[in-house]
């Protein structure tokens, strides 16, 4: 059946990417976003391996490349600023620690929105207030009071997903804190940064800077180990005090960077967390992106998971004739190992940063011989079927970009 009506909650990365593929396979797509418009800026995110292939199949390779940051690489430094290690954006064929495709989340969102806005209905400043499923569809009540019926509903509404809480249960059941807090805010670039990210680590804590906005400003980045306390994400002043307290005595340029906490126009602080669920669907409702399987910022793979998941969810649904049970089962089966590899990277990265106890040895997991194989699975370990070639397929490609052959991980045994 074509013309299946699908409601997607969230217009960041996963939502608009899914809208692209649903529309391409013939669905009628509505995206509802809680914010009054696209949220600009945000952190730098990356596309590596198969997610670059998804971008290519979307026909968005040049648009995404044109919107990239110009980061040349990263230096780790000691307290005096002497370089300890260097990572370049062209290491590992562009799929290294600093990826060749690095883009601010808001800029990627804008590219995806511009691509889909003509064929997709976007509703901003609204959200799903309630929903009721029956055998053939889902009745949705919006916070604005509007009532509509859809065949399928997708939650692409991020780590704190309201749809997940509504349909699957409270966030505590699925959100796992990894024991690290991250903070970001922008500062004037009075540090002489050019195109390089700088990172200083001390006793499980880190302080870093990266240039943004043509290097006129810089993004300050801090992390510190956290117990099991909850950070109230609405109380910015309390979060700033917490950051000052936890960074006390931090060397390098940290005191100068922290001095800008009072004049920064933006501030983000949150626990590093993953979402772990047994299933991503319930009846006609399914989750995608961070809402379903956040791998945490420390995996560097959240954006890739969102893009690849969007491709597979739409393709599997269309191939299954829009039958939710079969479509969602295909999506889960293909995605799970890929998600697990990326979540494993996130957990290992946090463990390598958080200082071990006085008697324990520092983490050597990242030096293990199995680590490169895990990285390969996290970057390329998922097959991308060529859905345009599938028999009984409802839609047809509307892009002049060739779909390309199915690709599979080279790392699979
Ligand atoms: C600090 C930080 C650093 C990161 N660094 C990296 C990195 O280096 N590399 C990488 O690949 N990834 C990184 N990520 C992860 C990456 O940002 C996410 O994995 C990616 O954005 C997933 O996108 P998403 O669309 O699933 O969710 P999100 O980007 O969180 O978007 C969710 C959207 O849903 C909207 N929304 C929320 N609630 C509702 C509602 N009730 N109704 C409607 N809309 C709603 C939100 O406003 C938002 O627009 C980082 C994330 C953070 C927070």
241, 273, 305 - which closes a domain: 273
Residue 49, class by beta-carbon neighbours within 10 Å (0-12 exposed, 13-18 middle, 19+ buried)? Answer: buried
> 100 pLDDT exceeds 90?
no
Distance 3 CA to ligand 1 centre (A): 28
Residues 243 and 180 in one domain: yes
Torsion of CA 389, 393, 399, 402, to 10 degrees: -10
pLDDT tens digit string along 33-68?
A: 999 999 887 788 889 999 999 999 999 999 999 998
Determine, yes or no, domain membership for 79. Answer: no
pLDDT tens, position by position, 167-181: 999 999 999 999 999
Residue 16 lies in a domain: yes
**pLDDT higher than threshold 70 for residue 1:** no
The span from the CA of 143 to the CA of 153, in Å, is 16
Write out the residue range of the structural domain in which residue 346 sits. Answer: 5-67+105-174+276-389
Residue 400, classed as helix, strand or coil, is coil
Same domain, yes or no: 256 and 288: no
Q: Give ∠ CA 117-161-101 in degrees, rounded to 5.
A: 55
Percent above pLDDT 70 for the chain: 90
Last residue of a domain, one of 245, 273, 301: 273
Closest CA relative to residue 398, chosen from 110, 154, 120, 49: 120
pTM listed for this prediction? 0.90
Greater model confidence, 411 or 381 = 381
The gap from C-alpha 247 to its chain's centroid, in whole angstroms, comes to: 27
Average pLDDT, whole number, for the chain? 89
Give yes or no: residues 148 and 32 share one domain.
Answer: yes
The 3-state DSSP class for residue 205 equals strand
Task: For residue 311, give both structure tokens.
Answer: 């491709």
Asked whether residue 45 is domain-assigned, the answer is yes
Is 114:236 a contact under the CB 8 Å cutoff? Answer: no
CB of 162 shorter than 6 A to ligand 1: yes
- What confidence score (pLDDT) does residue 398 get? 42
Asked if residue 294 and residue 382 are part of one domain, the reply reads yes
> 127 and 32, same structural domain?
yes
C-alpha 194/C-alpha 192 separation (Å) is 6
- Token pair, residue 252, equals 């390098």
In this structure, is residue 395 part of a structural domain?
no
For ligand 1, atom 52: residue with the closest CA: 297
Q: Which atom of ligand 1 is nearest to the CA of 13?
A: 25
Verify that 166 and 228 share a domain, yes or no.
no
CATH number assigned to the domain comprising residue 349: 3.50.50.60
Mean pLDDT of 94-101: 84
Q: Ligand 1 within 6 A of 210 CB? A: no
Please indicate whether residue 300, judged by its CB atom, sits closer than 6 Å to ligand 1.
yes
Closest-CA residue to 302 (of 14, 11, 10, 95):
14
Cβ of 33 closer than 6 Å to ligand 1, yes or no, is: yes
Q: Tens digits of per-residue pLDDT, 79-95?
A: 999 999 999 988 888 88
Same domain, 261 and 321: no
Between 354 and 358, name the one with better pLDDT: 354
Same domain flag for 52 and 117: yes
pLDDT at 272 over 80: yes
Task: Give the angle subtended at the CA of 243 by the CAs of 242 and 248, to the nearest 5°.
Answer: 100
In a domain, 84, yes or no: no
pLDDT at 391: 57
- How far is it, in rounded angstroms, from Cα 171 to Cα 155? 14
127 and 192 together in one domain: no
Total structural domains within the chain: 2
Q: Is the pLDDT of residue 310 over 80?
A: yes
Let me know whether 215 and 333 are in one domain: no
Greatest pairwise CA separation for the chain in angstroms: 65
**Shared-domain flag, residues 259 and 322:** no
DSSP string for 77-134: E-TT--EEEEEETTGGGGTSSS-SEEEEHHHHHHHHHHHHTTTSEEEES--EEEEEE-
* pLDDT-based confidence at residue 389 (cuts at 50, 70, 90): confident
CA angle (344, 347, 350) in 5-degree steps: 145
Q: What is the DSSP letter of 405?
A: -
- Integer Cα distance of 303 and 17 in angstroms: 11
- Report residue 378: phi and psi, to 5°: -75, -20
Mean pLDDT throughout 369-386? 93
Phi, psi (degrees; rounded to nearest 5) at 370: -80, -10
Q: Compute CA 192 distance to the chain's CA centroid, rounded to the nearest angstrom.
A: 30
Same domain, 156 and 12: yes
Determine the Cα–Cα distance for residues 369 and 229; give it in Å rounded to an integer: 35
When pLDDT is averaged across residues 265-281 and rounded to a whole number, the result is: 94
Task: Write out the two tokens for 43.
Answer: 């952190």
Structure tokens at 406: 């199915």
pLDDT of the residue at 360: 46
- pLDDT reported for residue 87: 93
Model confidence band, residue 411 (pLDDT cutoffs 50, 70, 90)? very low
- What spacing in Å lies between the alpha carbon of 301 and ligand 1's midpoint? 12
């Amino acid at each position: 059946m074509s013309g299946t009506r699908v409601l997607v909650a969230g217009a960041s990365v996963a939502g608009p990417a899914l809208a692209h593929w649903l529309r391409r396979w013939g669905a009628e797509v509505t995206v509802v976003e809680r914010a009054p418009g696209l949220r600009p800026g945000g952190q730098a995110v990356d596309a590596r391996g198969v997610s670059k292939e998804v971008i290519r199949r979307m026909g968005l390779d040049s648009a995404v490349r044109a919107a990239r940051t110009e980061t040349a690489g990263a230096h780790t430094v000691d307290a005096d600023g002497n370089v300890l290690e260097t990572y370049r954006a062209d290491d590992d064929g562009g799929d290294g620690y600093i990826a060749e495709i690095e883009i601010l989340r808001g800029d990627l969102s804008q590219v995806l929105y511009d691509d889909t806005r003509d064929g997709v209905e976007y509703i901003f400043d609204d959200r799903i207030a309630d929903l009721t499923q029956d055998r053939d569809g889902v009745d949705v009540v919006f916070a604005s009071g509007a009532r509509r019926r859809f065949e399928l509903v997708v939650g692409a509404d991020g780590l704190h997903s309201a749809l997940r809480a509504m349909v699957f249960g409270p966030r505590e059941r699925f959100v796992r804190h990894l024991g690290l807090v991250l903070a970001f805010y922008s500062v004037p670039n009075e540090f002489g940064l050019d195109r390089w990210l700088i990172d200083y680590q001390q006793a499980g804590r880190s302080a870093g800077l990266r240039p943004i906005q043509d290097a006129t400003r810089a993004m300050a980045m801090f992390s510190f180990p956290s117990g099991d306390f909850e950070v109230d994400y609405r109380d910015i002043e309390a979060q700033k005090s917490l950051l000052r307290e936890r960074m006390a005595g931090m060397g390098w340029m940290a005191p100068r960077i922290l001095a800008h906490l009072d004049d920064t126009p933006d501030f983000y602080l949150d626990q590093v967390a993953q979402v772990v669920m047994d299933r991503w669907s319930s009846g006609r409702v399914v989750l995608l992106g961070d809402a379903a399987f956040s791998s945490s910022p420390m995996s560097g793979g959240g954006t890739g998971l969102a893009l690849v998941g969007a491709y597979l969810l739409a393709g599997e649904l269309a191939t299954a004739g829009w039958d939710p049970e079969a479509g969602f089962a295909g999506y889960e089966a293909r995605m799970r190992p890929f998600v697990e590899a990326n979540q494993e990277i996130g957990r290992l990265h946090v463990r390598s940063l958080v200082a071990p106890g006085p008697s324990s040895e520092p983490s050597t997991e990242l030096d293990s011989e199995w680590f490169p194989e895990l990285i390969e699975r996290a970057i390329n370990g998922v097959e991308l079927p060529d859905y345009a070639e599938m028999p009984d397929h409802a839609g047809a490609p509307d892009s002049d970009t060739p779909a390309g052959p199915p690709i599979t991980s080279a790392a699979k045994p």
